[in-house]
Amino acid sequence: MENKIVKTEPVIFDKEGNQILEEKIDGGGKTQVIKYGLIKLIGEKQEHKVSYKTLLDINNAKNSNFTGQINIPEINMSVQINQIVMLRSGIENIRVDDDITNLPTTNICLDSNMQVSEHIRPYFIRNKIPYYEATVHYVERNGEKQYYLELDKIKRLLKVDFDKDGYDYISKIYHYGIKQ
């Protein structure tokens, strides 16, 4: 008989105490598949949503024949353990925004090399020069604005080109790096 080593992945919890099953990073944040808990108290019709950590604590208390009160922070109550008549878990998709999305935004013009331009929109239109119009997040330090110009951190990016008759049109649109 051969011994096999089984590797288990560590259980990861978010800041609310829900278990993160899957995480996908996309423009401006991430999408998570989380596992949360649901409990039902004796005499109540509705279920209460609790964190998965709280659900595990209640389950461990029930399995250890604990008979006292247990604190449930999500509903701001302490209840007798025997008043909890149902325990189950649920799974849902949630969207978590990056911290950058909480920063202020401003509209700026970028040249064809994606660098901040000292020119404004009318200059590009008058001279028929392709440019980018961007809504970017910024941080103000020492009275100077520092822009986040990485494609996946730009809230909205419009690529403005000109047709053969000289009319401007939007050729590409990006939202946090994802082509629309």
So what's the pLDDT on residue 138? Answer: 87
Kindly report whether the global pTM for this prediction surpasses the value 0.85: no
pLDDT at 28: 61
- Predicted confidence at residue 12, as pLDDT, reads 86
pLDDT recorded at residue 103: 84
Residues of the chain with pLDDT under 70: 1-9, 26-29, 97-98
For position 49, what pLDDT does the model report?
93
Model pLDDT, residue 142? 79
70 contacts: CB under 8 Å, gap ≥ 6: 57, 58, 61, 78, 79, 80, 81, 84
State the distance between the two ends of the chain, measured CA to CA, in whole angstroms: 56
Q: Residue 37 in contact with residue 29, Cβ under 8 Å?
A: no
Q: Distance between CA atoms of 13 and 37, rounded to whole angstroms?
A: 13
pLDDT at 4: 62
